């Protein structure tokens, strides 16, 4: 399994963030480092398809993000953002929506993640009533349960309590996960995970 980014160019108004950027990542966890504004989140969004590059190609194995967008996105999940993207839904409805989008998801596994993060009691709450940590836990439950090959996690430890951090580290260190998933995460702190690589922007 390989994420291959070649000749990537992307710029915001008056500021080129990536110009001819190349990256190759294999299975396992890669820690993406860089100061604020270096482009970590932008790179995750480009790899996740939520932003369109001005030039270059992004492939996951043989799937090219623009040539086979549905197949690519079905194998990819971007876990990021501290505010709810669909603020009118409840936690249950957000989970339902993702299960409809990723039909191969193992419901038992998702349930186990929700239990581990102590989120089942919040299922009928609107997502806007969740705390920062609870919102992150909801996103992480999906990230850990969806059957994707590419996992893009933006600041996974933001707002998490100590137990949740320990559980997340345990899940992201599981050998069978590391063998089947390419995980790209950003963190300002050392993630304390077995890393396949570190990338400085």
Partner 1 sequence: MNNPPYSYLRFRTRMAHHALLRFAASLQSSLEIILLGFAPVLLGLIACIALPGLLAATQPWPQALALFAGQVLVASAPVWLLRKRLHPAEVLVWSRPLPIPPRQRWIADAAVAGMIVGPMTLAYAVSTAIWLYQWPDWLRPAAPRALMLTLLSLLLAWSFSTWILARRARMPAARKPGRARAVPQSYAPSAPTRMLLPYYWRQLFWHPFWRAENVVGIQQTLLLAGSLLSVAVWLWRPPLVPPALWGACAALSLMLLTDRGDKAVAEQIALLRPVAAGWPLRPERLFRCAMLFSLLPGLCVMACFALSTLGGAIKGYSHTVAIVWLCFAGLAQIAVVSLRKVSVRGRVGLVIGAIIILTAIGSELWN
Q: How far is the CB of 83 from partner 1 (least distance, A)?
A: 12
**Which positions ≥6 away from 16 have C-beta within 8 Å?**
9, 10
Q: How far is the CB of 107 from partner 1 (least distance, A)?
A: 6
| Burial class, 106, CB count within 10 angstroms (exposed 0-12 / middle 13-18 / buried 19+) | exposed
- Using CB under 8 A, list all residues that contact partner 1: 45, 48-52, 70, 73-74, 76, 78, 85-89, 92-93, 95-97, 99-103, 107, 110-111, 114-115, 120-121, 123-124, 126, 128
At 71, list the tokens: 């197949």
Q: Which is nearer to partner 1, 113 or 193 (CB)?
A: 113
Q: Which is nearer to partner 1, 120 or 170 (CB)?
A: 120
Q: Compute how many other C-beta atoms are within 10 angstroms of the C-beta atom of residue 21.
A: 19
At 55, list the tokens: 């030039």
At 58, list the tokens: 């992004």
Q: What is the dihedral of CA 26, 29, 35, 38, to 10 degrees?
A: 30
- The Cα-based distances of 172 to 69, 120, 194, 199 in angstroms read 26, 21, 9, 18
Q: Which is nearer to partner 1, 48 or 191 (CB)?
A: 48
Q: How far is the CB of 49 from partner 1 (least distance, A)?
A: 5
Identify how many contiguous H helices and E strands the chain contains and give both numbers: 7, 9
Q: Which is nearer to partner 1, 33 or 102 (CB)?
A: 102
Q: Compute how many other C-beta atoms are within 10 angstroms of the C-beta atom of residue 54.
A: 12
Q: How far is the CB of 20 from partner 1 (least distance, A)?
A: 24
Q: How far is the CB of 189 from partner 1 (least distance, A)?
A: 26
Q: How far is the CB of 161 from partner 1 (least distance, A)?
A: 20
Q: Which is nearer to partner 1, 45 or 178 (CB)?
A: 45
Q: Which is nearer to partner 1, 143 or 193 (CB)?
A: 143
């Amino acid at each position: 399994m390989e994420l291959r980014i070649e000749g990537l160019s992307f710029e915001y108004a008056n500021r080129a963030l990536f110009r001819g950027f190349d990256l190759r990542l294999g299975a396992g966890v890669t820690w993406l480092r860089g100061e604020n504004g270096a482009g970590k989140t932008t790179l995750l969004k480009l790899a996740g398809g939520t932003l369109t590059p001005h030039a270059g190609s992004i492939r996951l194995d043989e799937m090219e993000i623009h040539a086979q967008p549905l197949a690519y996105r079905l194998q990819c999940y971007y876990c990021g953002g501290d505010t709810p993207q669909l603020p009118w839904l409840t936690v249950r409805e957000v989970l339902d929506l993702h299960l409809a989008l990723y039909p191969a998801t193992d419901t038992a596994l998702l349930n186990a993640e929700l239990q581990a993060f102590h989120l089942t009691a919040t299922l009928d709450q609107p997502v806007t009533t969740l705390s920062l940590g609870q919102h992150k836990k909801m996103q992480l439950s999906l990230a850990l349960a969806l059957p994707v090959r590419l996992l893009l996690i933006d600041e996974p430890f933001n707002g998490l309590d100590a137990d949740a951090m320990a559980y997340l580290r345990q899940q992201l260190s599981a050998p069978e996960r590391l063998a089947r998933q390419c995980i790209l995460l950003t963190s300002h702190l050392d993630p304390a995970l077995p890393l396949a690589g570190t990338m400085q922007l």
